[in-house]
Structure 1
Amino acid sequence: MNSDIRNQDLKWQERMVDRPLDLDAVQAFVRIADYGSFTRAAEAGRTTQSAISLKLKRLEERLGCRLVERTPRHVELSARGLAFLEQARALLAAHDRACAVVAPRRRHLSIGISDHVAGPELPLLIARMTAGDPQLSIGIRIGSSGDLLRAFDRREIDTAIVRFQEGRDDGETIAEEQFGWFAAGSWRHRAGEPLPLATMPEPCGVRVLAGALLDQAGIAWTEVFTGGGVTAVAAAVAAGVGIAALSPRMVPLGTVDVGPQLGLPRLPRLPVVLYSRDRDGPAGRAVAALAAAYRTAIRG
């Protein structure tokens, strides 16, 4: 048995040096591993799911082993795939460094992301973008959707990822996210008092929507905390100051959705919209990777 295994390993090693690997196929495999989805990998690579599947199939045939285990609900790497992943990343990085030696021109991409969209995943998403092209420098601006769209229109930023804005239909909806009324687990509403809200200042669209829904439902409310960003609002909620309309991605551990308990109006699913002038080249690929990553983060 051990002899058979050694013979199989020797044959596998012979195939490895038989001909070079297809770097596009290796990149497709890495994207599948990163996003855990053929669909998201295709979106990040600006290609089709069938093209990604074909590249993976050719890579697996070239290596003589299965790299990815496909199930109806999710995608997992095989033992061989897990072993190959680190080397695949190293191979792509070495390729990029080699290209950078003879083509050192840097390209800057400025991106604006709504505070209600950015989320705790942002550092990982930036890492994925920069890993795709070492010569691409990226600047991130966090702000309100309205301010970022005005900056986009003035060409101060190249790309904006924001919440849906009334009167605009020139963007691409990349996901829709459910919001809830979150409070600390120990928080209790005092009967007869206005509902205490923690919000971001105007012109925050989520703040305006939350207030309008409460007014329509005839629920008295008062603003007890105004934070300069979602992180501050979430901290106030965790501290038991009041409740806030937030995405589940943004809330700290120990907070709960008290909307059903208090009979509050259901918050709608809010679209996340991409506006970008970069559709081609390294910058376009980076934007596509960021959009695909947000689809994964928001839809789970």
Structure 2
Amino acid sequence: MKVLDLDAVRAFVLVADLHSFTRAADALDTTQSAVSLKLKRLEAHLGKQLVERTPRVVRLSADGTAFLGAARDLLNAHERALGALSVERRRLALGLSEHVASTDLTDLLAKLNAYDPGLVIELHLGTSTALLAQFDERRLDAVIVRSTPDEAPRDDASVLFSEPLVWLAAPAWLPRVGEPLPLALLTAPCNVRAVAIHALDEAGVAWREAFIGGGVATVGAAAAAGLAVAPLARRVAPRGLIDVGARLGLPTLPESRVALHSRLRDPRSLETLRLLTEGLGSGG
């Protein structure tokens, strides 16, 4: 029976996640050559090529892709086994944009706790602008924020996924004839608010603020209650709201990017972030 070297498996998973031997070496506090040697020994042990190496790109082979899920399961099982004997308390200060947090946040937090029962999560919800400022001040270890295509991407941003913003309202909701379009918006400054207002102004659509909320949950509740239409991503909005943009002749809103900014490097924290980002991308 073949016994796998956990250090080599961990190096493989980090190379797969970070797409770089150099970044994987930094995360493991070792050298690039040491990581490369671990991978070669793992490949020799398995009799399969896991990683395709080119001067510019590091990507998984078909066998590497097939092995990745099992490798993660192996490392997670190892961590759980250690955790059963001794729970190490760790703290992560994370920032999550109000316009990114899904309605299934409860399920997502449960997954993080199941992976690492000793993890203390300090979760901050807020606007992307405010969270990035806190990240730059080193008050947060990582932030997940939303930006629009016209915003210049930062060098430290890792784009997780893109999704459209749409005009959402209750199914039977209609604006009053001859009156400005009532909007439910987050308080300024808010990138989504600014994008929506700009699109309406460019299209010559008259609008007014009907509801101003301190969070996406309150904005979604106002739309569901029939107070107004809200510019949101479907994934973060309450169930039951529908896209009324085409019906009302409203301008199409742009795709927006969800990006991760992180200074975390240790493998356990990186795995926690991966679970979080995958959960957000799938809606929880």
* Aligned residue number for residue 180 of structure 1: 166
C-alpha offsets along residues 163-182 of structure 1, whole Å, 9 cap, x if unaligned? 12734412111000111111
Query: Structure 1 20/139 Cα, relative in aligned 2: closer, same or farther at 3 Å?
Result: farther
Counterpart selection for 1:53 from 57, 60, 66 = 66
C-alpha offsets along residues 46-101 of structure 1, whole Å, 9 cap, x if unaligned? 9947425136789xxxxxxxxxxxxxxxxxxxxxxxxxxxxx89x966x5454236
1:292 aligned to 2:278?
yes
* Aligned-partner Cα distance in 2 for 1:155–1:56: 33
* Aligned-partner Cα distance in 2 for 1:101–1:224: 52
* Aligned-partner Cα distance in 1 for 2:76–2:259: 31
Counterpart selection for 2:105 from 106, 112, 122 = 122
Counterpart selection for 2:199 from 209, 213, 221 = 213
Counterpart selection for 1:169 from 148, 154, 161 = 154
Note the C-alpha offset of 1:151: 0.5
Query: Structure 1 198/121 Cα, relative in aligned 2: closer, same or farther at 3 Å?
Result: same
* Aligned residue number for residue 131 of structure 1: 114
Shifted more, 135-144 versus 123-132: the winner is 123-132
Paired residues, number: 234
Query: Structure 1 50/231 Cα, relative in aligned 2: closer, same or farther at 3 Å?
Result: farther
Query: Structure 1 127/259 Cα, relative in aligned 2: closer, same or farther at 3 Å?
Result: same
Counterpart selection for 2:127 from 131, 140, 144 = 144
Letter in 2 for 1:266: T
3-state SS of the aligned residue for 1:118? coil
The answer to whether the 8 A contact 1:96-1:134 is kept is: no
* Aligned residue number for residue 83 of structure 1: none
Counterpart selection for 2:139 from 145, 148, 156 = 156
3-state SS of the aligned residue for 1:117? coil
Letter in 2 for 1:158: D
Counterpart selection for 1:255 from 241, 246, 249 = 241
Shifted more, 130-139 versus 187-196: the winner is 130-139
Query: Structure 1 257/101 Cα, relative in aligned 2: closer, same or farther at 3 Å?
Result: closer
The answer to whether the 8 A contact 2:94-2:123 is kept is: yes
The answer to whether the 8 A contact 1:279-1:285 is kept is: no
* Aligned-partner Cα distance in 1 for 2:238–2:83: 41
Note the C-alpha offset of 1:109: 0.9
Counterpart selection for 1:224 from 210, 215, 218 = 210
Shifted more, 224-233 versus 95-104: the winner is 95-104
Letter in 2 for 1:189: P
* Aligned residue number for residue 54 of structure 2: none
* Aligned-partner Cα distance in 1 for 2:64–2:204: 53
Letter in 1 for 2:278: A
Note the C-alpha offset of 1:157: 0.6
Note the C-alpha offset of 1:275: 0.2
Query: Structure 1 22/297 Cα, relative in aligned 2: closer, same or farther at 3 Å?
Result: farther
* Aligned-partner Cα distance in 1 for 2:260–2:183: 29
Unmatched tracts of structure 1, length 5 or more: 1-18, 28-41, 59-87
Identity of aligned residues (%): 40
Note the C-alpha offset of 1:184: 1.0
1:280 aligned to 2:280?
no
TM-score, normalised with respect to structure 1: 0.68
- Identify, as 1 or 2, the structure richer in helix: 1
C-alpha offsets along residues 88-139 of structure 1, whole Å, 9 cap, x if unaligned? 89x966x545423666542211110000100112222222223223333221
Letter in 2 for 1:113: L
> In terms of Rg, which structure is larger?
1
Letter in 2 for 1:173: V
Note the C-alpha offset of 1:274: 0.4
Counterpart selection for 1:198 from 184, 200, 208 = 184
